[in-house]
Amino acid sequence: MFKGSREVEARMYDKIKIIAGIIIFLIIMLTPFWYNSLTGKAAYIPQLKIGTDARQCVENTLYMKSNHANLLNKWKESVVREGMRVHKAGDGKLYIISLTGTCLNCHSSKAQFCDRCHDYAGAKPQCWDCHVVPNNAVGRWE
Amino acid sequence: MLGKALTGGKKYWMWVILLGAVILAGFASYLLQLKFGLGITGMGRNVSWGLYISNFTFFVGVAASAVMVVLPYYLHNYKEFGKITVFGEFLAVSAVVMTILFIFVDLGQPARVLNIIRYPSPKSVLFWDMIVLNIYLLLNLVIGWQTLNAERKSEPQPAWIKPLVILSIPWAISIHTVTAFIYSGLSARPFWLTAILAPRFLASAFASGPAILILLCFIVKKFARFDAGREVIRKIAQIIAYAMVINIFLSLVEIFTVFYSNIPEHSLYVRLLLFGINGHLLLSPWMWVSVVLGWVSAILLVNPQTRKNDTILMATCIAIIISIWIEKGLGLVVSGFIPSPLGEITRYIPTTHEIAITAGIYGVGILVLTVLIKIAIAVKKEAES
Amino acid sequence: MDRRQFLKIAGFSIAGFILDPSLDIRPKGLFANTAKQKITSYIRKWGMAINLDACAKKPGCRACIDACNIVHNVPGLGSPKEEVKWIWKSPYPTVFPEHIHIINREEIKNLPVMVLCNHCDNPPCVKVCPTKATWKREDGIVMMDYHRCIGCRYCMAACPYGARSFNWFDPRLFLKTVYQDFPTRTKGVVEKCNFCEERLIRGLLPACVEVCKENALIFGDLAAIDSDVRKILKQRHSIVRKPHLGTEPKVFYIL
């Protein structure tokens, strides 16, 4: 096969077994794709309820769509580790950094906004393991 | 070479399937632990490390003990050990795999384990332990595999392997020293706060690890018809004898300081460990089993007549493994938490799930060892014929 | 500095910080590194004094414990084995084992003493953490980052005061009500008292201090000579837990 190397007979042994094995492997590996296309589950687009009339989020919509997870990650570091609780937006506006206070103030329904898209994308953010969804919360002190 | 692990007799496959079943059972329990949290173990706010960390500590010692066959062979040119250095290295590999698994199952948030690397914290001994253990695993895997490869091709070892072997010797010492530092640097736990903890760890490791190696030699002699040779076993038994005597000596040194100084903060732990309190025995029966087994086996090993008797030697090795497993595991790790900083005396009893997970990790370790040793013996037999 | 002054200054500093854009304290860019920037050039050192006699006036009182548990969503597991505690009572001899000579003031011997995280100057828990999930802030608060904790519990082994708790189960299963201004924790992370860091930034006193009718808990800035806590520590004799360990606790007990 290769020049200069020993002449090796190019032949595939157990051809049928190998090809059958590859096909079975591919079928199993691609389960999510064919399963979803057969059952039509992938065909819908999640309908989100933004929950506010405000034109703009903390940053512009395009940025928020693709980067909200990064922004929240930075926020979390900023508040917890640096004690910095104010976010200066690109347009110079100042916001208090708070997932439940600032974000959910506008996006008042987690179920209709956050969850719908996360479910669709199969994303499982751990935020809600600890952070309280305001609507579900009861009890105040003071 | 890995292919050699796939050819074996009926007994071999039965053994592998048995180990597989134990691993699966352990894994099932681990899934439960993942779902419900570490609350399904016997640990709690006072005794916050238990069976997992105990076993972790014990097996770091087993891993470090490979140095006891590597050092005489490579540094003192003791040729007899050439036959089994690879066993020592592979025993270390399987032991390190177990230690890493024991740490992993002990984590409350295992998905975040890489945070140790993402946010390196050189002030934490655990950070260094992670580094030395992983490098030690790599060293032994490379050295063991390369040694076998050279043996298979009847070639001399390549030049680059020698520096690695030399490095692996102090590295073995380092893994157990750093592991001891996890405990001995804590002002909160007077029971661990002793400078001889690292030497004690090493002494007990050089008894328990080689004891496992001797048993391994007897097992492969019986089941794989591979004889390491009388001389080799005699020599390892001698090493164990010295190590065990030093281990007992160091424990007595500790006992003297604790009881003669009689600082309550220090002596209370040892009192509770050895005698319990108000009729509650706590861990004391375990500890006395460990003490008796340790002393008896030290005597049997120091005496040449009994040391040279294979049956007695085998029994002694088992006794030593049990004795040190108790001493270093429950006796050291769990006792450090009793009493708690607020004086609470808590009983620690591992739960079924905890034991199943532990057994599963043993299964993984023994499976890794079985496969590696099987390959090693196949290669050695091929090279001989 | 009395309480009113404290609140005023704290309130102003946060308000000014948010409202006045001329204060050069905000990040320059969107995500400028803010780690080195301080809210003011003056660094506070938070500390607490616990007046044992005042506390003992009301036996059985657990106002501070309840307040803390509520505002921090501390679960009530009811099982001593897995319990989560931020502030709780422990008998005097267990808190001060080095101060239990036989001839001791009768009323002190059986006194229940409030214990919480000591926010040590040399915190052993911080040193051992392999991920920096716990660290010491400039203002003296030993903080926890629950996002980063891997649950190895090395800090629990290292704390000489038993101040750290682990979430052996999902704490939400054991919360009757959820206080919505503070997150809960998740299973598998360690937690402890944070000196009400989230309240201090809003100019409020720690919940336990605010709720104590006996004024048994005195909180304030140890760096300010005229703060309440400094004043009482100057007038009365105080001890700390296990001083020989060199951790330098910032919770003082007034005898």
- Please, which pLDDT band fits residue C3 given cuts at 50, 70 and 90? low
Pick the range with the lowest mean pLDDT from B106-110, B235-239, C25-29: C25-29
Q: Chains near A, with 3+ CB pairs < 8 A?
A: C
Which chain C residues have a beta carbon less than 8 Å from that of A126? 186
Burial class (CB in 10 A: 0-12, 13-18, 19+), A30: exposed
Which residue, B289, B365, B280, B276, is CA-closest to B329?
B289
Answer whether A1 touches C (CB < 8 Å): no
B38·C149 Cβ contact <8 A: no
Are C179 and A137 an interchain contact pair (Cβ–Cβ within 8 Å)?
A: yes
Would you say B385 and B154 are in contact if contact means Cβ atoms under 8 Å apart? no
Nearest chain A alpha carbon to C180: A137
Lowest mean pLDDT across A116-120, B18-22, C7-11: C7-11
As a whole-number percent, the residues of chain B with pLDDT over 70 amount to 100
Q: Identify the residue among A77, A78, A84 best suited for mutation to test binding to C, counting C beta carbons within 10 A and taking the highest.
A: A84
Q: Does residue B55 have a pLDDT over 50?
A: yes
Residue B311: per-residue pLDDT: 94
Q: Sorting pLDDT into bands at 50, 70 and 90, what band is C20?
A: very low
B141-148, long-range: CB within 8 Å, 24+ apart, which pairs? Answer: B141/B93, B143/B89, B143/B168, B144/B86, B144/B89, B144/B90, B144/B93, B144/B372, B144/B376, B145/B1, B147/B85, B147/B86, B147/B89, B148/B1, B148/B86, B148/B375, B148/B376, B148/B379
Q: What is the DSSP string of C68-114?
A: HHHHTT------TTT---SEEEEEHHHH-GGG--SS--HHHHT-EEE
- At C14 the three-state DSSP class reads helix
pLDDT, position B133 = 97
What single-letter amino acid sits at A12? M
User: Which of C128, A9, C22, C186 is closest to B181 using CA atoms?
Assistant: C128
The CA distance from B43 to the nearest CA of chain C, in Å, is 8
**What is the pLDDT, as a whole number, of residue A139?**
44
B197-223 and B230-261 helices, crossing angle to 10°: 150
Q: What was the pLDDT predicted at C10?
A: 54
Cβ-based neighbours of A125, under 8 Å, separated by 6 or more: A69, A114, A118
**Residue type at position B359:** A
Q: Model confidence over C237-251: pLDDT tens digits? A: 999 999 999 999 999
Chain A contacts of C201, Cβ < 8 Å?
83, 85
Residue B186 to residues B28, B192, C32, C155, C159: CA-CA distances in angstroms?
35, 7, 38, 10, 8
Compute the half-sphere exposure of residue A12: CA atoms within 13 Å on the CB side of its CA. 6
The letter for the amino acid at C153 is R
> What pLDDT sits at residue B251?
96
Taking the CA atoms of B50, B56, B62 and B65 in sequence, report the sign of the dihedral they define. negative
Give the mean pLDDT of B335-363: 95
Distance between B1 CA and the closest CA of chain C, angstroms: 38
Q: What is the pLDDT of residue C9?
A: 53
- Give the per-residue pLDDT at A55: 77
The pLDDT score that the predictor gives to residue A50 is 82
Evaluate if residue B54 carries a pLDDT over 90: yes
Q: Is the pLDDT of residue A14 over 60?
A: yes
The yes-or-no verdict on residue A7 having pLDDT over 70 is no
Nearest Cα to A106, choosing from A142, A61, A52?
Answer: A52
Looking at the predicted structure, is the pLDDT value of residue C29 above 50?
no
Cβ–Cβ gap B45/C156 under 8 Å: yes
pLDDT for the residue B30:
98
The per-residue pLDDT for range B259-291, each reduced to its tens digit, is: 999 998 899 999 999 998 887 888 899 999 999
pLDDT at B197 over 80: yes
Q: How high is the pLDDT of residue A46?
A: 82
Give the pLDDT score at C24: 36
- The distance of A98 to chain C (nearest Cα, Å) reads 10
What confidence score (pLDDT) does residue A51 get?
A: 77
Please tell me which residue of chain C has the smallest CA distance to A87: C30
Quick one: pLDDT at residue A28?
A: 93
DSSP A86: E
Distance CA B209, CA C79 (A): 40
| Contact status of A100 with chain C (Cβ, < 8 Å) | yes
The pLDDT tens digits for C65-78 are 999 999 999 998 88
Element (H, E) at B258: helix B230-261
Q: Are the beta carbons of B72 and B81 closer than 8 angstroms?
A: yes
For the record, the structure tokens of B170 come out as 């102090």
| CA–CA gap between residue B136 and residue C92 (Å, rounded) | 48
pLDDT-based confidence at C4, cuts 50/70/90?
low
Distances (CA, A) of B285 to B51, B281, B289, B331, C187: 17, 7, 6, 11, 34
Which of the 8 DSSP states describes residue B280? B
Distance, CA of B331 to CA of B298 (rounded, Å): 19
Rounded CA separation B371/B16 (Å): 9
Residue A140 banded pLDDT, cuts 50, 70, 90: very low
Res C239: pLDDT: 95
* Residue A124 contacts C, CB cutoff 8 Å: no
In B, which residues are within 8 Å of C154 by CB distance?
124, 126, 182
What is the chain C residue with the closest CA to B37?
C169
Residue with tokens 């009530």: C76
Closest residue to C157, CB basis, from B121, B123, B189: B189
Q: Check whether A1 has a pLDDT greater than 70.
A: no
Please tell me the predicted confidence (pLDDT) of residue B282: 80
Residue C28 pLDDT more than 70? no
Residue the block writes with tokens 């200066």: A88
Q: Chain B contacts of C155, Cβ < 8 Å?
A: none
Q: Please, which pLDDT band fits residue C43 given cuts at 50, 70 and 90?
A: confident
* Predicted pLDDT of residue C156: 97
Residue A142: per-residue pLDDT:
38
More confident residue, B256 or A82: B256
| B339 cis-preceded (ω within 30 degrees of 0) | yes
Span B296-324, pLDDT tens digits: 999 999 999 999 999 999 999 999 999 99
Cα four-point dihedral sign B193, B195, B197, B200: negative
- On chain A, the residues whose CB falls within 8 A of the CB of C17 are 86
Q: What confidence tens digit (pLDDT) does each residue in B58-88 have?
A: 999 999 998 999 899 888 888 889 889 999 9
Q: What is the pLDDT of residue A121?
A: 85
Nearest Cα neighbor of B350 from B40, B31, B59 is B40
Mean pLDDT within A106-132: 88
Which among B257, B256, B260, B334 is positioned nearest to B290, based on CA atoms?
B334
* pLDDT number for residue C241: 97
A12: closest CA of chain C, how far (Å): 50
Determine the pLDDT at residue B129: 96
Which residue from C137, C146, C177 is facing A138, i.e. has the nearest CB?
C177
Contact A89 C39 (CB under 8 A): no
Q: What is the pLDDT of residue C2?
A: 54
Which C residues 210-249 touch A at CB under 8 Å? none
Q: Which residues 128-167 of C have a C-beta within 8 angstroms of A?
A: 135, 137, 143, 145-147
pLDDT of B301 reads 96
Would an 8 Å CB–CB cutoff place A91 in contact with chain C? no
Please, which residues bridge with residue C219 across strands? Answer: C48
Residue in B45, B49, B267, B344 to test binding to C, most C beta-carbons within 10 Å: B45
Neighbour-count burial for B42-79, b at 16+ CB within 10 Å, e otherwise: bbbbbbbbbbbbbbbbbbbbbbbbbbbbbbbbbeeeee
Measured CA to CA, the distance from residue C24 to residue C34 in angstroms comes to 12
Of A76-90, B196-210, B243-257, C193-207, which gets the smallest average pLDDT?
A: A76-90
Q: Considering CB atoms only, which of C80, C159, C189 is closest to B108?
A: C189
| pLDDT at position C27 over 50 | no
The closest CB to that of A88, out of C17, C27, C180, belongs to C27
Paired strand residues for A87: A95
Tally B–C CB contacts below 8 A.
143
Q: Which pairs with CB-CB distance under 8 Å and at least 24 residues apart come from B251-256?
A: B251/B200, B251/B327, B253/B196, B254/B194, B254/B196, B254/B200
Cβ(A102)–Cβ(A57) below 8 Å: no
C116: which 2 tokens? 């919480």
Tell me which of A26-30, A38-42, C59-63, C152-156 is least confident. A38-42
Residue type, B38: L
* CB-CB under 8 Å, A136 with C186: no
pLDDT averaged over every residue in chain A: 82
Q: Neighbours of C (≥3 Cβ pairs closer than 8 A)?
A: A, B
- Torsion, Cα C201 C206 C211 C216, to 10 degrees, reads -140
For residue A121, what are its two tokens?
A: 């994308």
From the list B205, B244, B8, the residue with the least C-alpha distance to B88 is B205
Average pLDDT over residues B98-116: 97
Consecutive H or E run containing C165: strand C165-166
